[in-house]
Amino acid sequence: MTEAHTEPKSLPIAAREPQCPYQPAAELRALQKEAELPRVKVPSPLLGEFDAVAITRYEDVKDALGDSRLQMGFEFDPDKPRTMLNQPGNLLNYNGEGHSRLRRMLTGFFTIKRIRALRPMIEQVVADRLDEVEAAGQGADLVRLFSTPIPTQVICELLGVPYADRADFQRRAKVGLDVNTTLEVQVQNLKDMDEYMSGLVAAHRRSPGENMLGQVVRDFGHELDDDELTGIGNMLLIAGHETTASMLSASAALLLQNPEQLAVVRDEPEAVDRAIEELLRYVCPATIMPREAAEDFAVRDQEIRKGERVVFSILAANRDERDDVEGDPDTLDVRRPQRPHVTFGHGAHQCLGQQLARMELRVALPALFQRFPTLTLAVPDDEVDYRTTALVFGVNALPVTW
């Protein structure tokens, strides 16, 4: 007897149209139109399937994420199994002063000035990867040769992680972001992550390197124990490459299917910053972690009770039709006057590395299309292999020709 096949579950707050995965699914749009805040069931290998209030409208998402009464529901508990949502040092496991304390230690590495100084290094990384694409020839896979290596190599350079170890930590990152695994798999996966990162932490304790992890050890090692340093390293390594890699591949696929928009990114340097914001809004790769009400509060005069979990649809919020913003939100327009988005979240837990992600996108996408001005997909549009059931939306493979 063969084992029954179980379809992967997708998150209801990130459900996408099967035939057009850049568009929110019909059921997600229906949730957004409901007058009352809907309750949904959310699959999770770490928490088990749980009930949550779904917030899908742009202003509601912004207001709720900025409300201190809505907190991360994953405060570290040493008596529970270690997972990515139960680990010291991971900013997702902290609220209030505990969160502020750790974030203050890291913010200086991600200022706009600091990121601008990294541009020459990022440009060189991109140029090297484009050489690899050209060497591979027709049918080259942009995911393997371009979109994944660029943010991976950049974060390795910044953190002080050997780039030669990338295959193992990339695999562990994908497992950690997969909502269709089991708790046992996630526990073992974090053990493997911790074992690897704790070895790097120990090396920096002995001799801090000239990189981010080494500087954190030098400046704050007296305040942080090895568990916290390991959690910080794991968080930065995963967040520093996985979402940007997914954003690069999904953006490249989208632009290749919209040649007029691609031409703007390729040929109009003054439009690139605006184009990247539009792509971030439209592609919306990442899912924001659930929150929990620390006390009763209300959204649109509707009560959310203390202890209730809350989930946010960034995908739906970015496509919300709003009276204060002109234009069809479902139309990709890279020349559009900036339409506000919440792709990086909002409030205290807003993405720490968003300026680094923006810089990588600003450098990599124009360079790709300038190097290969006749670049096209090597497969029909409807055969692009999208990843739609993980916490991060992306493309599994993207073969191209020119």
pLDDT single digits (tens) 235-263: 888 888 889 999 999 999 999 999 999 99
Q: Residue ranges per domain, the chain? A: 81-285+328-401
Asked if 257 contacts 377 with a C-beta cutoff of 8 angstroms, the reply is yes
Pairing of strands 309-312, 291-293: antiparallel
Most confident of 63-67, 130-134, 202-206: 130-134
* DSSP structural state of residue 86: B
Q: Looking at the predicted structure, is the pLDDT value of residue 334 above 70?
A: yes
For the question of whether the overall pTM of this predicted structure is more than 0.75, the answer is yes
What top-level class would CATH report for the domain 81-285+328-401?
mainly alpha
The C-alpha atoms of residue 45 and residue 264 are separated, in whole angstroms, by 42
Phi-psi label, residue 160: left if phi above 0, alpha if psi -120 to 50, beta otherwise: left
pLDDT tens, residue by residue, 293-327:
999 999 999 999 999 999 999 999 999 988 667 78
Q: What is the mean pLDDT of the chain?
A: 90
pLDDT tens, residue by residue, 60-89:
999 999 999 999 866 667 788 888 778 888
Beta bridge partners of 309: 292
- HSE of 30, CA atoms in CB hemisphere, 13 A: 9
pLDDT at residue 391, rounded to an integer? 82
Q: Tokens 């946010």 — which residue?
A: 312
Structure tokens at 381: 């549009």
